[in-house]
Structure 1
Amino acid sequence: MSGVVVAVGLLGCGGAEQEMAQGDVLGRDDQEIVGGIEARPGSHPWIVSLGDGVSHFCGGSLIRVSATRNETDIVLTAAHCVYDGWSGLTVTAGAHDLFRPTANQVTVRVSQVVYHPRYNPDTTMNDVAVLKLARPIPFGGSGCGISPTMRPNLKVQAAAGSSWVMPVCLPAAGELVPDNVEATVAGWGLTQEGGHDTSSILLQVGVPTVNSRQAAQSYLSQGITIDPSAMLAAGYPQGGRDACQGDSGGPLVIKKGSNYFLQGITSFGVGCARAGLPGIYARVSNYIPWINTQVRSLSSVASM
C-alpha cells in the first residue's frame, strides 16, 4: 500500500518536520480551501483549529455532549492528524483570523486523544479521532448546528447576536447523504495544490456530494479503494473547489432544516481540487456508536 501513501494527500496532519520528510505527499496539513471564499466571522461556530504551540495544522469540530449543560470538552477530528503524536496539542475555538486573536476565541490544551482502533494509515480507513479537552469550552444557547449568518458568497461581519462558539449537530447512526446535495467545508489550509502560503483567515467552499460508486471508480484509477460505508465524497466533476492541506479533520456540514449536521470529517484526496477526483471525507454517521462510547468514557460533562 506504499503507493497509496505517496498518491494520497492527507489534508492536515504532521507539520513542518513531516512535510520536509514527505515532500512528495500532497497532504492537507498545510493547505487551505481551494476555490472558496472568506467565511463570515462566527458563522462556523463549531470549527476549531488544532495547533502544536507554533502553528495551525488541522481542523476539528466541537460536539454537544450534554443535553443540559452549554459547554463541551470533546472535539472530533481526523485520526491522521494525531496518529503520529499529540504532545503539546491545543484546540482554539471561536477563531476567524488566526494571526489576529480576539476576545471571542479560547485556546484549551488537549488532555487525551483516542483515534479509531481500526484506523489504517495506509488506506486512510476509519480516519476519525476524539479529543478530550483539559477543560470544557462554554458556548452560547442550547441546541447544535445553529448558524443564521452562514451564507456562501458574502464577506460581511458577523450579525449582532451571532454565536462564535456552538457545537455542530451529529447525524443519526447509519444516516445516508443523498447524491448531489450541497455541502460546506471550511478550514485554514492552503488555497492551491502545492502552495506554500496559508491564509490566516477562515475560508469556506460549497461542494456537492458525489455518488459513492462513481467516486470509487474514479479513485480506482489511482489504485485507491473507497469504502462507501466509511467514506463520503464531495466535489465538482471539473474540480476547482476542494479542501486541501491544513483542512484535515475539519467539518463538512450539510444543512437540514435550520441546523447544520457534521456529515464528513475532511480526510484525503489526490492533490487538491483535481478534475474527476473529489475530496474524501470520513462518513460520520458510520461512527456514531463509537463516538458516543468515547464521549461517555472521556467527557467530564457528558449526559448521553
Structure 2
Amino acid sequence: MPTANGMRPKRPQTSKETSSRRIMPFNVLPGIKKPKPSVPSIKNVCGKKHKKRLSIARGRIMGGNSALPGTHPWMAAIYIGQSDFCAGTMVSSCWIVSAAHCFFRKYVMDLRVVLGQQNFNVTGPNTRTFGVEKYIFPKQFSVFNPTLHDIVLIKLAKQDGRCARRTPFIRPICLPDQSMTFPDDYCCTISGWGHMHEKAEGYSSLQEAGVRLIPHEACRKPDVYGNHVTADMICAGLNDCVDACQGDSGGPLACARDDVSFLYGIISWGEGCGRTKKPGVYTKVVNYIDWINSVIRRKPKAS
C-alpha cells in the first residue's frame, strides 16, 4: 500500500501473500521503573487477562511466544472480504479500535469480526462472530496519506439486542486517560496473527511479544524515519526481529500498569519487518481519546 510519503503501512493481507504473524520475542527486560502517573479509576471491568496456569508449555515461534488462550481477551480478528485481514482491539462490548488504512473503500457487509479467537480463521466454543454495523474514521484521516491519523472505530452489529458478552476469553482493554504516559524504554506488548517475517506464508496461532517504547526524537532521526513520524505516533521495538508485520495492522500496543492493560498504540506502519533501525510505528491513542469517547458514548438520536 504505497503512500504519498513513500512509507508503506502494515497493510491487510491478501490471499496471494498468505501469511503467519510476525510478532517476535517477549523480551521482558530488567531495570524498568514503574511510571508515576496515577491509574484511572476503572473498577476492574477492563484490561484484565484471564488467569491461566502458567505451567502449560508455550510454543516458541521465531523467538517469540505463542499466547495462551485468554491472555489477550481484547484481540479482534477482522476478516475483510474473501482475502484481506487486519486485527483490532475491543474497547467496549460494541466497539473495536483498529487501523484506518485497513478499511477505506471497504463495505460493512464484507466485514466479519471474530472475538476470542486463538488460531487464525478457526472458530470454536470460545469464539463469537459479529457483523459490522458501521465504521468511523476521524475527520483528519485521508486515503491519500493513510499513515496519518491511522485509527478507526468499528461498531459491531448486535445479536439478540446486544453486542459482545464478557467471557474469560472476550473482554475489553482499558482506554487510557488523555494525560496517561509511559516512559521511554517501558516494555509493552504487541499481539497478532500476522507474518513471522517478510515474505512468510501461512498464519498461525495468536502470538505475543514485548517491545520497548523508543524516544520520539530517536525515531525522528534521518536514518530512522525522519519527519514521517509525527506527534500522533509512537515508535517501539528497535531491536532486530522484534516487530509487527503485515497482517498485524490494527492490533494493540498494550502497556500495563498494576496488572491492568491499556491501549496505548495501534499497529500502523513500518519499513519492512524487524529491519535494523526501522522500528514499528503505532498510532498514539491518547491523542484521539476525546474523539473515541465522543463516538462510543454518543446516545442514538430519537427517531
Same-fold call, TM > 0.5? yes
Question: Contact (CA 8 Å) 1:33, 1:205: kept in 2 or not?
Answer: no
- The question of 1:199 aligning with 2:203 is answered yes
- The question of 1:139 aligning with 2:166 is answered yes
Structure 2 equivalent of residue 216 of structure 1? 220
Structure 1 residue 55: deviation in Å?
4.9
* Alpha-carbon distance in structure 1 between the residues aligned to 2:179 and 2:222: 24
Q: List per-residue Cα deviations over 1:103-153 (Å, max 9, x = no partner).
A: 00011001101011111342611101000111101113xxxxxxxxxxxxx
Where does the alignment leave 5 or more consecutive residues of structure 1 unmatched?
20-28, 65-71, 141-162
Structure 1 residue 284: deviation in Å?
0.6
Normalization by structure 1: what TM-score?
Answer: 0.77
* Alpha-carbon distance in structure 1 between the residues aligned to 2:154 and 2:105: 14
Structure 2 equivalent of residue 157 of structure 1? none
Structure 1 equivalent of residue 82 of structure 2? 54
- 1:118/1:202 Cα in 2 relative to 1: closer, same or farther (>3 Å)? same
* Alpha-carbon distance in structure 1 between the residues aligned to 2:173 and 2:128: 17
Structure 1 residue 205: deviation in Å?
1.0
Normalization by structure 2: what TM-score?
Answer: 0.77
Residue range with higher mean Cα deviation, 47-56 or 281-290: 47-56
Structure 1 residue 297: deviation in Å?
3.1
Where does the alignment leave 5 or more consecutive residues of structure 2 unmatched?
25-63
Tell me the secondary structure at the aligned position of residue 297 of structure 2: helix
Structure 2 equivalent of residue 79 of structure 1? 100
Structure 1 residue 201: deviation in Å?
0.8
Equivalent of 1:232 in 229, 234, 242: 234
Question: Contact (CA 8 Å) 1:187, 1:204: kept in 2 or not?
Answer: yes
How many residue pairs get matched?
255
- 1:3/1:11 Cα in 2 relative to 1: closer, same or farther (>3 Å)? closer
* Alpha-carbon distance in structure 2 between the residues aligned to 1:76 and 1:123: 16
- 1:262/1:131 Cα in 2 relative to 1: closer, same or farther (>3 Å)? same
Tell me the secondary structure at the aligned position of residue 243 of structure 2: coil
Structure 2 equivalent of residue 280 of structure 1? 281
Structure 2 counterpart of 1:245, which letter? Q
Structure 1 counterpart of 2:268, which letter? S
Tell me the secondary structure at the aligned position of residue 72 of structure 2: coil
Structure 2 equivalent of residue 246 of structure 1? 247
Tell me the secondary structure at the aligned position of residue 292 of structure 1: helix
Structure 2 equivalent of residue 125 of structure 1? 148
Q: List per-residue Cα deviations over 1:51-110 (Å, max 9, x = no partner).
A: 02535610001113xxxxxxx111000110112313410110000012432100011001
- 1:218/1:137 Cα in 2 relative to 1: closer, same or farther (>3 Å)? farther
Structure 1 residue 200: deviation in Å?
2.9
Structure 1 equivalent of residue 119 of structure 2? 97
* Alpha-carbon distance in structure 2 between the residues aligned to 1:247 and 1:44: 14
Q: List per-residue Cα deviations over 1:208-240 (Å, max 9, x = no partner).
A: 000001001156x55652113x1011003x421
Question: Contact (CA 8 Å) 2:100, 2:146: kept in 1 or not?
Answer: no
Structure 1 equivalent of residue 73 of structure 2? 45
Question: Contact (CA 8 Å) 1:74, 1:299: kept in 2 or not?
Answer: no
* Alpha-carbon distance in structure 2 between the residues aligned to 1:112 and 1:3: 25
Structure 2 counterpart of 1:89, which letter? L
* Alpha-carbon distance in structure 1 between the residues aligned to 2:128 and 2:192: 17
